[in-house]
Amino acid sequence: MDFPEDSENSSLRLSNSSKQIQVNTDDQYGNAILPSIFGIICFLGISGNSIVVYTIIKKTKCQAKQTVPDIFIFNLSIVDLLFLLGMPFLIHQLLGNGSWCFGATMCKVISALDSNSQTVSTYILTVMTLDRYVATVHPFRFNHVRTTCVASAVVAAVWALSLISITPVLMYTGLMPLHSGQVGCALLLPNPSTNICWFTIYQFVLAFALPLTIICVVFFKILKHMSTTVAPLPPRNQQVRTKSVTRMAVAICLAFFICWAPYYILQIVHLGIQKPSASFYYVYHVAISMGYANSCINPFLYIILSKTFKRQFIVAIQPAHNRFRVNPSSTEATVSLRLATDCQRHVPADNSE
């Protein structure tokens, strides 16, 4: 996603993975406010997702059993990090009036990272939803399939499928000459009059509409099962963990689609607009900001909604020499007293989460 400026008509041409939008803009907005917003999102997102990655790695190093949700959350955080690492280039373009000075190779790499991260995120969320369906509706029947090895293999397949789906971006992203004599980075489709329309629909269906449909259907089946089931239930503690992880998965999916829906909807709407207005331009930038903001929301959702992750995070940041001690005379220990900072005190997690 880049922002090369046409200096002849003082307009801003928004070039992203599927569309170029040319509208009049306020230099102060494009050169000051947007870079500031993106800078804040980038800082919070990279910090939050780095904490998530560190917490899960620390847990694994301490020989605690990794769970299937850990695999999905870890990969979502990696995807968000890769997505956010492209933001400094976007900010540089905004501050440099749309010029790209990092070469053709980096243009292709950053554009591919941007498109691939969006697609991988939706596919991982779809797989996570299917996993929640299996854990909730068939906790015994497919328990042998819900292993970390299978989850890792599925995630690897998701990454491969996503790379295949962004082939047009890899093929046609390149440098575009600007009227100012500089170059910008954009998706240069061979026949824009028709290809832009088809590519926008292609991206909308694969990266948004189809995953959203699958996720909605699966969650509907989960809710229907939970309201009507009379089958034998797993142990109480396993039920609590399953419901907790399912609630977190619902929140992550809702946050993702709420943040990205305006962007994809505006992409479709723009196909029927010949000359976007200034108001469309501002709304479009709000939509882009919401999409990037989604990558810094997830870490806070993990901490707020998952007591297990919160405990793991506290353990991960405790100094190695610091130990909690419980007074033998005390009949009840608090959560903080039950936490251990050394690896020996990690309790293996149940794979049913």
Domain ranges of the chain: 5-345
User: What is the reported pLDDT for 319?
Assistant: 60
Tell me which fold the domain 5-345 belongs to: Rhopdopsin 7-helix transmembrane proteins (1.20.1070)
User: What is the reported pLDDT for 122?
Assistant: 92
Give the integer Cα–Cα distance in Å for 186 and 19: 9
H/E stretch holding 41 reads helix 34-61
User: What is the reported pLDDT for 344?
Assistant: 47
User: What is the reported pLDDT for 234?
Assistant: 53
Q: Of 300, 294, 313, nearest to 84 (Cα)?
A: 294
User: What is the reported pLDDT for 258?
Assistant: 92
User: What is the reported pLDDT for 31?
Assistant: 60
User: What is the reported pLDDT for 28?
Assistant: 52
Q: What does residue 34 show for φ and ψ, rounded to 5 degrees?
A: -60, -50
Q: What does residue 200 show for φ and ψ, rounded to 5 degrees?
A: -60, -45
Mean pLDDT by 10 residues, the chain (353 residues): 35 39 46 82 92 86 77 92 89 82 91 91 92 83 84 95 93 88 88 87 92 90 73 54 72 90 91 82 86 88 77 71 47 37 46 51
Identify whether the C-beta of residue 102 lies closer than 8 Å to the C-beta of residue 190. Answer: no
User: What is the reported pLDDT for 4?
Assistant: 35
Give the integer Cα–Cα distance in Å for 297 and 76: 12
